[in-house]
Structure 1
């Protein structure tokens, strides 16, 4: 049978995203900084748009007959009981998936923090460390302040910081240039006593005192040039390593306060709330004098402006709805700390609000909430979990605590194997595989049973 070209006619259904829908999805996922830059570009391109005066920021503008301004958003009052929780109605974007972009550096760091298998307390410490990064990637908040704020030992904060300094890109969360470079050299296995002395005397390197450095480090000139070459290959400002903009101070998108009546009040931060409106005076003036071609130009830009304002309104309402549902489910965290976090997934929030899971994902990306325990990313409140025999959910952090307690209280001469730990957890109603137990055990810093037994025997023999 010969091959050739042919034409066929058929029908099929599909989901297509037009430019406006794509713009709405991008606006929903923007951080407050990205949104401000986007709106500045839109105001520059569209003559019928104008920024709201700073003096009017956060004040709901009056409603016009054409509904061209963003309506005021009521606060979300959250009481101690579930019956007192309220949430404004919002709109779903209606689209399940679009191609994503590379997440900002803080988002990637928080994902690495979650994947590191840290406890809930360590997650809270890590979230504060991430929020405290400056433009160069240094830690702008001293560990002592974070420890005092969270009522934890300073050593615990520094332990988490030391671990996070190995995150990609290495060298973040350092308190000094020397510490930043030291971590990067250690990750490359290039740290030795001579390099340590060089790092402690960078002032001599700045003066290019190679002779003095050679004597101090006890190396010849050729080795010194090699060490300097290694230093030049490092990044002194890892916070600027990526393609996204320089890290800026975290400004919360949502404010959470407790009223005198012990009710939690959620509201959008007026500083980051979109503040563009239609230039009504210009529209009226052009409408009266415009020619047919100018009317078409004005109509096109007016339609785009109204669509943008509706998208901003939808974004504000959706953020408030999602944040309200998250805080409603994690209310105990506000009073009990990390131990009050309960298992929570994107799907659970999406099903409660009647929106798609991707909508919750976009809202929680790059958004921060100011709570009584500091400014935290919305993703902080999502805690992975495993299902139990009776359908009960158990958070991964809670399971790690159980494993830690078992190993801590075990007989050193007869340590518990992963199989025994798995059996005990299953008796407690936690359906978990042995390999998952092994992964959790390693993440909290415990070797396997054989190594623990050898360590116990070695310690007893030494004594």
Structure 2
């Protein structure tokens, strides 16, 4: 066989996605705020796109009027007289227009009047690192101690815990001191920070505000908070210090026998411990202001649910007539300019069509969701029906991935609050009547059953199964246990009160 490069001709079928199709899918995926930014960017890069101004809504009629007026102006001869018809009497003054216009008798306000707009912004606040550094500046520390304190502060995470073991901090800072001494030709035999100095600095950090900061685990964090509250001799402090594992497992009987107290006293101490903050540093964390602007609005009007797109602030695009007229005369441009004009014009046309297609797609999906979940809007979450992406896709005649993009990171304003579109999708369980009930509705029932149970005799998973079966819901015990874990509800043994 002859080796080397060879060329062969062949036919084959390939499925290639048009780049514009990728962009259309991205438009479907974008939330409202992202879409606004994307359209503003398109306005800057494509000269064939321009904003639809409010006065452009009646373009057809206004263009005809402008043409007629222009023809009349051209036909009439110019006059130099400045005389105007005299207006006398109050009947000639439209006082309502004057009042609405702010007493500006000269006529209406300018359309683009300059105004000052104020938008709320996030106020800069101190984070945990700044708070600790500020307290350390009030303590008399040597330069080396201050250097070590900065190292400790840098290793405290947002929860307020020391993220690295003391040994790693000690090894890292000692290596840094050694390198610094070698670069400055200092005495490299000078000892670094000792174990005693590390523990001393740890004590200084843990005495700072908030109580519990600098702890290495949850147990130490709770002990620091109890110590700061003056409860070092309390039962709660003893339980955390000596029997933390048993306390977490809610072993009231074992603890009462071990410490020679009643189970009620153990539970009372546990209740006091539960009031402590397990993550003291989060109160100084920079909270991000997450503003949710719903993409859709569902409103009940005359006992009917109507759906609207909340795109009033979305830039409305149209083709620029000026650039269209320029592009018509193709003789003025060379081949490269013609290609540029053709691509930009096609891109502008496609963008306008893609936005309209996005609008129609979102409305189709939301209409089906509202029709399917009408009982939810009337009675609440327990009436939520099971719904899948495939079901919606088959109903509206789209692919399942398209419905997924439409519902991803989208929100809808409803009479029952602002909800993500994913809220309406959940698996289902069958009932004795042959109907289906949403898993989200079952979770809501479980949560209400646990909230109203007798704390001295809490409901077991099997008891919850039996109660739900009485209402016609067919559910297994392991499913109840799974839903209970997802809700963050403890098992019956750990919910029991003496």
Q: What are structure 1's unaligned runs of at least 5 residues? A: 64-133, 139-180, 203-215, 219-229, 240-246
In the TM superposition, residue 33 of structure 1 has moved relative to its aligned partner by 1.4
> What displacement does 1:330 show?
2.0
Within a 5 Å distance, the mapping from 1:309-458 to structure 2 comes to: 309-387=352-430, 392-401=435-444, 403=446, 418=461, 430=473, 432-451=475-494, 455=496
**Helix, strand or coil: the match of 1:351?**
helix
Alpha-carbon shift at residue 331 of structure 1 (Å): 2.3
Q: SS of the residue aligned with 1:185?
A: coil
1:318 to partner: Cα distance:
0.5
User: Does the 8 A contact of 1:197 with 1:217 survive in 2?
Assistant: no
- 2:210 aligned to which of 190, 199, 211: 199
Residue in 2 aligned with 1:33? 33
Partner of 2:320: 279
Structure 2: state its 5+ residue gaps: 62-120, 126-155, 166-202, 214-226, 230-278
In the TM superposition, residue 258 of structure 1 has moved relative to its aligned partner by: 2.8
- Distance 1:272-1:31 versus aligned 2 partners, 3 A rule: farther
Which one scores higher on RCO, CA 8 angstroms, separation ≥ 6?
Answer: 1
Q: Is the 8 A contact 1:31 1:366 kept in 2?
A: yes
- Return the offset for 1:324: 1.3
Q: Say if 2:296 is the partner of 1:262.
A: no
Give a deviation string over 1:141-163, Cα, whole Å, max 9, x none.
xxxxxxxxxxxxxxxxxxxxxxx
The question of 1:291 aligning with 2:333 is answered: yes
Q: Distance in 2 between matches of 1:20 and 1:306?
A: 12
Q: Compared with structure 1, are the counterparts of its residues 399 and 258 closer, same or farther at alpha carbon in structure 2 (3 Å cutoff)?
A: closer
Q: Work out which of the residue numbers 233, 251, 274 in structure 1 matches 2:293.
A: 251
Query: In 2, Cα distance between the equivalents of 1:406 and 1:47?
Result: 62
Aligned to 1:20: 20
Distance 1:238 1:359 in 2: 33
CA RMSD of aligned residues (A): 4.9
Q: Deviations over 1:92-134 (max 9, x none)?
A: xxxxxxxxxxxxxxxxxxxxxxxxxxxxxxxxxxxxxxxxxx9
CA separation of 1:235/1:292 partners in 2, compared to 1, >3 Å: closer, same or farther? Answer: farther
In 2 relative to 1, CA 307–136 (structure 1 residues): closer, same or farther, beyond 3 Å?
Answer: farther
SS in 1 for 2:409: coil
- Corresponding residue number in structure 1 for 2:44: 44
Q: Show CA shifts across 1:237-263 (max 9, x none).
A: 253xxxxxxx5532222233333x322
Distance in 1, Cα, partners of 2:12 & 2:429: 40
Deviation at 1:22, TM superposition (A): 0.2
- Equivalent positions of 1:64-79 (< 5 A) are none
Q: Given the superposition, is the C-alpha separation of residues 371 and 414 from structure 1 closer, same or farther in structure 2, using an over 3 Å criterion?
A: closer
- CA 1:399–1:21: 2 relative to 1, 3 Å: same
Cα drift, residue 316 of structure 1: 0.8
In 2, Cα distance between equivalents of 1:16 and 1:446: 50
Deviations 1:334-392 (A, max 9, x none): 33333332222222221211111111111112222222233332222223323457763
- TM-score, reference length from structure 1: 0.53
Distance 1:366 1:250 in 2: 10
Q: What is the alpha-carbon distance in structure 1 between the residues aligned to residue 299 and residue 472 of structure 2? A: 37
State the distance in 1 between where 2:416 and 2:474 align. Answer: 33
Residue 321 of structure 1 and its aligned partner are, at CA, apart by 1.0
Tell me if structure 1 keeps the 8 A contact 2:40–2:315: no
Q: Which moved more, 1:382-391 or 1:344-353?
A: 382-391
Using a 3 Å threshold, how does the CA distance of structure 1 residues 272 and 384 change in structure 2: closer, same or farther?
Answer: farther
Which of structures 1 and 2 has the bigger CA Rg?
2
Q: Secondary structure at the match of 1:383?
A: coil
Question: Residue 297 of structure 2 aligns to a residue in which SS?
Answer: strand
Alpha-carbon offset, residue 446 of structure 1? 4.3
| Structure 1 residue 277: Cα displacement | 1.0
Judged with a 3 Å threshold, the aligned counterparts in structure 2 of structure 1 residues 426 and 279 are, in CA distance, closer, same or farther, namely same
Change (3 A) 1:347 1:43: same
Q: 1:424 to 1:26 in 2, by over 3 A?
A: same
TM-score (norm 2): 0.50
